[in-house]
Amino acid sequence: MYINRMSKGEAVFEILNIIFMIMFSLLCLYPFIYILNISISEGISPAQYGLNILPKGVTLRFYKNVFATDAIYMGFLTSVFRTVAGTLLMVTFTILGAYPLSKKYMPSRKFWTSFILITMFFNGGLIPNYFLIRYLGLIDKIWSLILPGLINTFYLIVTRNFMMTIPEDLEESAKIDGANSIKILISIILPVCKPILATIALWSAVYHWNSWFDCLIYITNPKLAVLQVILYRIVNAGSNVVVTGSLSGDEAPFPEVLKACTIIITILPIVVVYPFLQKYFIKGILVGSVKG
């Protein structure tokens, strides 16, 4: 074994380190497990549940009840649309901006790069942004949650740096074969850029899925509220008064159970997607952050 080849002191340190990391991981996982157990426990108050690892009676009827409400169901669909559309558009425009900036022959490349970097440190603020969205006629429209964040400067610079690591010989050979810039971008650059594309896609998806404040500012129509705003209102209300209609009488869960179900619904999609992109994540970050 690996530990057998260590000295006694190194072996003790390694064992203690493993024990510490296991305990730390369990501490990080327990809140998620606790919320999950509360959401699937049958007819028990969270106050009576205590600090248990296993649920007390498993049922999914609370999730069925939650999805039966218009507020959460519509919020979930709105969040899904925002995340999918926002991620696709953000990745597309990031690629279109990063590719020309990665070329040394681009006129005034340093000027445009510096000009874009300024937006990382300075912005108009909440009130000017609100007036801009209003004057564009985007108030109470789902695009007010997508278009303002169409390009993230940090994502753009990281993608540009990754593209600068691609050997120029690949493009030169393609040009000799008669390929134009669009053909080179689609057929050569994008397949090589899978790690950084997966990375910014994950970042973009997490950003859009978790965002709620812009919806609180720009959206007044309850039917267009994202799931996170619904959760925010449920937590602020301290009860299930936000959810009306199908939850009543014996079928109505405890308010804490409603919150737990909504929290799980909110975080589960990202938890499911992340493992499939993790193998690209580290490589994309490392390569995209070292090139100047």
In the chain, domain spans: 1-59, 69-290
Tell me the CB-side half-sphere exposure of residue 251, using CA atoms within 13 A: 14
| Higher-pLDDT residue of 172, 45 | 172
The letter for the amino acid at 216 is L
| Higher-pLDDT residue of 186, 81 | 81
Tell me the CB-side half-sphere exposure of residue 30, using CA atoms within 13 A: 10
- The first and second tokens of residue 31, run together, are 């809140």
Q: Find the range with the poorest average confidence among 7-11, 102-106, 120-124, 218-222.
A: 7-11
How many CB atoms sit inside 10 A of residue 196's CB?
27
Task: Evaluate if residue 246 carries a pLDDT over 60.
Answer: no
**Ramachandran angles phi, psi of 75, nearest 5°:** -65, -40
The letter for the amino acid at 21 is M
CA quadruple 188, 189, 192, 198: dihedral, nearest 10: -130
Instruction: Indicate the length of the chain as a whole number.
Output: 292
Residue 179: predicted pLDDT: 79
Give me the residue label for tokens 């499911």.
Answer: 272
Quote the percentage of the chain above a pLDDT of 90. 16
Confidence of residue 135 (pLDDT cuts 50, 70, 90): very high
pTM: 0.77
15 touches 3 (CB < 8 A): yes
CATH of 69-290, picked from 3.40.50.740, 1.10.3720.10, 3.40.50.720, 3.30.559.10, is 1.10.3720.10
